Amino acid sequence: MTADDSTPPSLGKPAAGWGALKGTYRALVHEKTLGEGSRALLKVNQHNGFDCPGCAWPEPEHTSRFEFCENGAKAVAAETTSKRVDPAFFAEHSVEDLRTRESYWLESQGRLTHPMVLREGGTHYEPIAWEEAFQRIGDALADLPSKHHALFYTSGRTSNEAAFLYQLLARVHGTNNLPDCSNLCHESSGVGLGAAIGIGKGTVQLDDFEAAKAIFVIGQNPGTNHPRMLTTLQEAARRGCPIVVINPLLEAGLVSFTHPQEMFNTLTGRGTDLATHYLRPKVGSDVALLKGMLKRIVEKDAMDREFIASHTEGFDAMAADLDLTTWDTIVTETGVDRHAIEEAADTYIASDATIVCWAMGITQHVNGVDNVQAIANLLLAMGNIGKPGAGACPVRGHSNVQGDRTVGIIERPTETFLQRLGDAFDFVPPREHGHAAVQAIEAMAAESGHVFIAMGGNFALGSPDTELTAEGLANCALTVQISTKLNRSHLEPGKEALILPCLARSEIDLQASGPQRVTVEDSMSCVHASQGHRTPPSPLLLSEPAIVAGMGKAMAEAAHIDWDHLVGDYARIREKIEEVIPLFVNYEQGIDQPGGFRLRNAASEREWNTEGGKAVFHVVETPRIRLPEGTLRLFTIRSHDQYNTTIYGMDDRYRGITGERRVLFMNPEDMADRGIKTGDILELEGPSEDGRVRRVSGFRAQAYDVPRECCAGYLPETNPLVPVGLRARGSHTPSSKLIPIRVHST
Ligand SMILES: Nc1nc2c(c(=O)[nH]1)N[C@H]1C(S)=C(S)[C@@H](COP(=O)(O)OP(=O)(O)OC[C@H]3O[C@@H](n4cnc5c(=O)[nH]c(N)nc54)[C@H](O)[C@@H]3O)O[C@H]1N2
Ligand SMILES: Nc1nc2c(c(=O)[nH]1)N[C@H]1C(S)=C(S)[C@@H](COP(=O)(O)OP(=O)(O)OC[C@H]3O[C@@H](n4cnc5c(=O)[nH]c(N)nc54)[C@H](O)[C@@H]3O)O[C@H]1N2
Ligand SMILES: [Mo]
């Protein structure tokens, strides 16, 4: 059954509640892991347990027994599945055959158990011994025409220890080509905040939510993507803290929420109302809306003048630009009326401590960096950084994407970092900046013979321009995927391809000195330990650090590093991290504490590591989006049953969709203009100015409450429409939230 009117059918029912309990149970049953999976769930986010492999929302310090959510449970169930993808599976299914399967099917086949190779000209993956696999990587890297033909991709589940060794490996090889999923995700936050407040991270801690007098949630859908955040918002709502949402879609999770653990004492089934204000701008118009709020603040002379004078620069230029931005423009661009924007501004003005949270609705735009800087302007105007209950909160995606960056997964490292790394490991790291994700795609597509190594993730589907990315991967001399589960990236091989299966978070990682713990950093700069307790699904699996060490030992340039020593006890890797990155102080003792420790965040102490030593107001351009007649703004979103490219199920409960993913959510008037009815089958055509045809078909039209001229579809099915060149100025983040498309009935 699917919804066919223009309001999400699930609205009116609170998010989570019984649905979440049922969803958890179903995920465990589907993965045939009811016993194992449930036991594993008891260890999630507990001291001496493992970090939830789901999102990067922090754990409260005094956790209750069940510190996980429905979607965390799905991630754990997916890991602890009793199903296996072994050599017999690969003997039965050719690569050609597997390419005809949906991602959902690939994911459901279970855990990878053996290292596998697809030899040049081969039709099937075959088992390969670890030593031979490592040797082939070493040989392929040695054969490259230049060091920069090697690309080392990372996805954000990788632990600090594995990530640190991996960036070392890339740099010892001789390149800074370390594209990562952050390039596709929060890069605009890093770049925008770096320039505004001198650090590319958020400034708040979990405790701040208890002290906040207003909370803004912009371009984020926590009900699905950070469900534990709803508990925090619920507590805030209950004590009367206003919650202002800015989002073109009315997301059920932000309207009302019932905590699954309270189901039994809220027999009425009524949830807590969350959003007190819900503004629904057209996609891509946030800068205009934020400028409207700032205009109001200036008009009412509500700025924190003392803070502005002593801590910032650039206010006057920013204010002068506001004068040039008329309310007419603001209202036309956003489609939101002036009164609603002024009300949101008045809520902001009335609060003396405000937190602004945001995610992909802000960062994945051509003006993603501007969006972030407009948010920073708003915060700085009233001194809302560096005091209790206030600050910037970019809510990260993957559970350790922030930590990976901290320990060196970056294509533009600083000179200081490189010097310290070189000193600690006795080599001269390369200085040339490397490729971010989109540049890696362009490089692979333009020239054959690269070696592409992926530490986790699903580059083939997570990336924009799916066809171009596949061409790039096919051009490679060797592709290597370090993975837990089968995915599309294994089926877009280079001339030769390797699958290296690794341990997952919940599993025992046994090395020479005994079982190991790893560390991760959450969205609020807290670093803590994670230790698995389950028996791995196959004795052949290696940990991610051990796989990096195996590759290192096969590389002549890396021979001077004692990889076995480092991997024998991960505390030795942490010692090296501490030596290279001064932010880490007493690392080992820090992670012995329940809840771990927080990395120093200078901006939250009002110390601004910018060029001028002050926080900076930026003049940002007001977007004037003028698309050719008939074009719609497509924004790509996650369903409730997926983790990025991993599809757990075919439903999207809060949006009322069941059993399908090729859906285009459209405004009813836009449908009428085109003679389209709910249920019609559509072809979607993306930009083609660069001469490439971008098309996907078989999408079912669904009337939905979206602003005019905007429409939404799920990633990764819509990724073939996202041009690699359509990306944020300054951060190269693909414009996944505003792709000009045309729709045709077929
Ligand atoms: N269960 C689950 N959890 C996840 C993930 C997952 O796939 N599944 N993914 C993880 C990752 S890597 C990430 S980065 C996060 C992503 O977390 P989110 O950013 O919440 O994910 P999206 O689905 O991309 O949702 C973006 C939201 O922005 C809104 N939006 C779109 N365009 C605009 C715009 O122009 N302006 C505004 N104001 N809003 C807009 C959309 O309506 C949507 O509500 O979640 C992480 N957690
Ligand atoms: N159109 C569109 N495209 C997008 C986005 C969007 O909003 N719209 N969002 C972007 C964002 S925010 C992100 S972060 C990227 C995500 O891009 P990626 O991070 O590349 O993709 P994921 O789907 O998160 O990766 C899933 C795979 O990771 C592997 N895996 C899972 N756990 C582990 C582990 O513990 N170790 C290892 N080694 N492997 C593991 C499994 O094999 C699984 O198939 O996608 C981006 N793409
Ligand atoms: Mo992400």
Whether the pLDDT of residue 677 is over 90: the answer is yes
Phi (first) and psi of residue 439, to 5 degrees: -70, -35
- Cβ of 155 closer than 6 Å to ligand 1, yes or no, is no
> Which of 79, 395, 459, 638 most suits a substitution to test ligand 1, by most atoms within 8 Å of the C-beta?
638
Atom of ligand 1 nearest to the CA of 246: 38
First-residue to last-residue Cα distance in the chain: 22
- Single out the residue of 121, 111, 231 nearest to residue 507, CA to CA: 111
pLDDT reading at 319 higher than 80: yes
**Residue with CA closest to ligand 2 atom 22:** 457
pLDDT surpasses 60 at 8: no
pLDDT at 383 over 50: yes
CB distance 162 to 548 below 8 Å: yes
Q: Which of 32-36, 48-52, 127-131, 206-210 has the lowest mean pLDDT?
A: 32-36
Whether the CB of 159 sits within 6 Å of ligand 2: no
**Separation of CA 111 from chain center:** 23
Q: CATH 3.40.228.10 in the chain, residues?
A: 187-399
CATH of domain 632-745: 2.40.40.20
Pick 94-184+401-592's CATH classification: 3.30.413.10, 3.30.365.10, 3.40.50.740, 3.30.465.10. Answer: 3.40.50.740
Q: How confident is the model at residue 261 (pLDDT cuts 50, 70, 90)?
A: low
The token pair that represents 713 in the structure block? 């579809």
Q: Concatenate the DSSP letters of all residues of 27-94 into one string.
A: HHHHTT-HHHHHHHHTTBTSTTSB--SSB-PPPPSS--S----HHHHHHHHHHS-S-EE-HHHHHHS-
Domain 187-399 superfamily per CATH: Dimethylsulfoxide Reductase, domain 2 (3.40.228.10)
* pLDDT on residue 7: 42
| Averaged pLDDT, 397-422 | 96
Poorest-confidence range of 46-50, 64-68, 347-351, 672-676? 64-68
Strand-strand pairing, 214-218 and 243-246? parallel
Here the tokens at position 627 are: 């698309």
Q: What mean pLDDT comes out for the span 658-687? A: 97
pLDDT at 665 over 90: yes
Does 458 contact ligand 2 (Cβ within 6 A)?
Answer: yes
Pocket test for ligand 1, best of 104, 221, 395 (most atoms within 8 A of CB): 221
Q: pLDDT tens digits for 12-24?
A: 466 666 677 677 7
Asked if residue 94 has pLDDT above 50, the reply is yes
d(CA 573, CA 565): 9
The predicted-structure confidence for 21-58, as pLDDT tens digits, reads as follows 677 777 777 777 766 666 677 677 677 788 877 777 88
- pLDDT-wise least confident of 188-202, 264-278, 704-718: 264-278
Q: Which one of the ligands is nearest to 718 CA?
A: 2
Say yes or no to pLDDT of 158 above 80.
yes
Q: Where in the chain is the domain with CATH 3.40.50.740?
A: 94-184+401-592
Which ligand is in closest contact with the Cα of 642? 1
Q: Range(s) for CATH 2.40.40.20 in the chain?
A: 632-745
Q: Tell me which ligand sits closest to the C-alpha of residue 738.
A: 1
Q: How far is the CA of 108 from the centre of ligand 3 (A)?
A: 22
Q: Which residue has the tokens 């929060």?
A: 186
